[in-house]
Amino acid sequence: MENSNFDRNELAKFESIAEKWWDKSSEFKPLHDINPLRANYIDEHAQVSGKKVIDVGCGGGILSEAMAEKGAFVTGIDMGEAPLGVARLHASNSELNIEYLHSTAEDLAKERAQTYDVVCCLEMLEHVPDPASVVKACHDLVKPGGYVFFSTINRNPKAYALAIIGAEYILNLLPRGTHDYNKLIKPSELSKAARDAGLMVKELKGMTFNPITDTYKLGKNVDVNYLMYCQRPEQND
């Protein structure tokens, strides 16, 4: 039976605005703005050139294309049809050869266990019913010794104020309702899910937004947005 760890209401949020995915002044501006930071962070730790990379919850393919441009062999998966359509068209216009599949991470992990050198799952876990199940699938997809990168939003009053009230209601960076407070994930919860899945957590990195300069940077502060970098042990246990 096919895995059902996805939420149609969450997917609908992205389906309805997918055609704007590559418009850098649209709702997707924040993803475009953070993309060089996260793509470089991944490349610094995992040297993606010539490697097999999978982008879980790839959407319109902003990270997938950046990985392909850095020389990786990229597979992107998403449960949204419209984002995948946009991703396929954009890659072909950019003359990038990227494999895009309509699948959950859990389903693909059954067919392609231990296939990828690098697994990326960015800004997606806060949209699924059971994030720990996706974390486990990411572990299963990566080769022993390979790297897994997650990013999501912390859950605390400051994250509520900045990522939901600030970004959705004051600055209008994201459509209202994009993020549901109860689905946000604390770094401690993500670390536990990663360890329970058999991954070693190597680093937690904060991502902060300065609304005055309209810029993002990576640093120590994980109060709101953060990245987590993990490694699958070489030894199978």
140 binds ligand SAH (CB under 6 A): no
Which residues have CB under 8 Å from 5's CB, separation 6+? 104, 106, 128, 129, 130, 133, 134
31 binds ligand SAH (CB under 6 A): yes
147 binds ligand SAH (CB under 6 A): no
> Which of 223, 233, 224 is CA-nearest to residue 195?
233
Least Å from the CB of residue 233 to ligand SAH: 26
Q: Which of 70, 90, 127, 232 binds ligand SAH (CB under 6 A)?
A: 127
Residue 67 to residue 71: CA distance in whole angstroms: 7
The residue (of 9 and 236) whose beta carbon lies closer to ligand SAH is 9
DSSP letters spanning 175-222: -TTSS-GGG---HHHHHHHHHHHTPEEEEEEEEEEETTTTEEEEES--
Stretch 97-116: interaction string toward ligand SAH, x if CB under 6 A: -------x------------
Q: Which of 48, 63, 132, 153 binds ligand SAH (CB under 6 A)?
A: 63
Q: Which residues bind ligand SAH (CB under 6 A)?
A: 5-6, 10-11, 14, 31, 57-59, 62-63, 78-80, 83, 104, 122-124, 127-128
